[in-house]
Amino acid sequence: MLGIKELIKDREKLEKRLRAKDPEISLDRVIGVYQDHCQALTELEELRAELNSASKKIGEAKRRGEDITPLHEAMTSLKERIQQKTILTTELEAQNHDLLATLPNIPDEDIKESLDPKDNVCIKTWGEKPNFSFTPKHHLEIAEQYDLLDFKRAAKITGSGWPIYKGLGARLEWALLNLMIDTHQKNGFTFHLLPHLVTPEMMYGAGQLPKFGHQLFRVKDNDYDLYLIPTSEVALNGLHYDEILEESDLPKLYTSYTPCFRREAGAAGKAERGLIRIHQFNKVEMFCFTTPETSDQIFNKMMASAEEILEGLGLHYRNMLLVTGDMSFGAARTVDIEVWLPGQNRYYEVSSVSNCRDFQARRSKIRYKSKDGSNRFVHTLNGSGLATSRLFVALLENNQKSNGRVTIPKILQPYLGLEEL
């Protein structure tokens, strides 16, 4: 969430940056409602002052033996006006809060202004695309050959877009997850296993609500009102919801494994069949709480940890600095790490690392006590480290051989106990 005072103080500049994310954004209403709230508060305080004055006059009139009926009537009228004004201020405060909650984070100053993802900037490449002496197979062909996946029975159980990994497929998926967890732990991230359901407050704090409610899976009945997590970022951010941390305890570097659930996945056509876009996928997440002074340094550390995994697997990738219009709602800066998928003949994102600055911390009331004794908002950062579904695809498609076998990267062999499929 953005601070209303900062928006008013530097309105022209900030409104321009917000429109670089969403051209429809206007600060007219949110600032107007805030000013109405301030005016109503002022009027409420004036009415309360009048009430105190009227109370004193009644006391003085009683001591003099005067008729206080007119004064009582005036006080009753004042109390009614105070009640009405109190309701108004509460309503305006809620409106102001709700309007602020719909505004996305402000992009960093150096982020290119564009609404077109084609303008994303490649800032790094590693490795090269594989050259095949044969026509490379799509991962679904390879999966069928080795009986790695079962979409047909998954559809019978749950519906389309929900994969089943089986046999070597399940083992390969689990090997990838363990490799990633071990890598991040080695790099200083504390491993967590988290709940897969969270409260609406946690969704709001992470910036998923109210904007993305239609994309989430919800469990609501007489006993529960919970959401399936679209990413463990939501639960990791919630670990310190409404807490004040000590500066000496920062940064806090966390990692977790969870399945992720998203309604919008699986909506694409044949070009994104198989594991490319699904409703449920596995992901190892990185999440950090830190001070503003060190958040850029932590961002680079998260990038390096994700890159280490891809380089260890020998997968060609590129890093894309996203333009303003392609960033997520809560991000001030995002770099997508994309791997080359021969079966799709294009790059696909396997990691997205974002610095949200203090945006999530404001929504989640996560602060730290600085050395000077003041309470400041932390900076939060999140990054996939990595999402396995497309990584699974990348391993199959990039490591296939002309004889139909698939080479297992050396770094993964101890986890799987195989050199090839």
Reply yes or no on whether 352 is catalytic. Answer: yes
Q: Which of 277, 333, 357, 363 is catalytic?
A: 277
Cα(378)–Cα(384) distance, integer angstroms: 20
Reply yes or no on whether 262 is catalytic. Answer: yes
* Phi–psi pair at 221, nearest 5 degrees: -150, -160
Q: Which of 352, 354, 364, 384 is catalytic?
A: 352
**What are the residues whose beta carbons fall under 8 Å from the beta carbon of 33, sequence distance 6 or more?**
92, 95, 96, 99
Reply yes or no on whether 338 is catalytic. Answer: no
Reply yes or no on whether 349 is catalytic. Answer: yes
Count H helices and E strands in the chain, helices first: 13, 14
Handedness of CA 67, 68, 74, 80 (dihedral sign): negative
Cα(90)–Cα(358) distance, integer angstroms: 26
Q: Which of 17, 333, 357, 390 is catalytic?
A: 390
> What would the two tokens of residue 12 be?
């022209």
Cα(241)–Cα(361) distance, integer angstroms: 8
* Sequence-ordered strand ranges (E) for 78-167: 121-126
* Sequence-ordered strand ranges (E) for 142-235: 190-192, 197-198, 218-220, 225-228
> What would the two tokens of residue 385 be?
């480290």
Amino acid at 140: L
Q: Which of 349, 370, 376, 405 is catalytic?
A: 349
Q: Which of 15, 232, 256, 262 is catalytic?
A: 262
> What would the two tokens of residue 143 be?
């999966």
**What are the residues whose beta carbons fall under 8 Å from the beta carbon of 176, sequence distance 6 or more?**
388, 391, 392, 395, 412, 415
Reply yes or no on whether 376 is catalytic. Answer: no
* Bridge partners for 317 per DSSP: 126, 339
Catalytic residues: 262, 277, 349, 352, 390
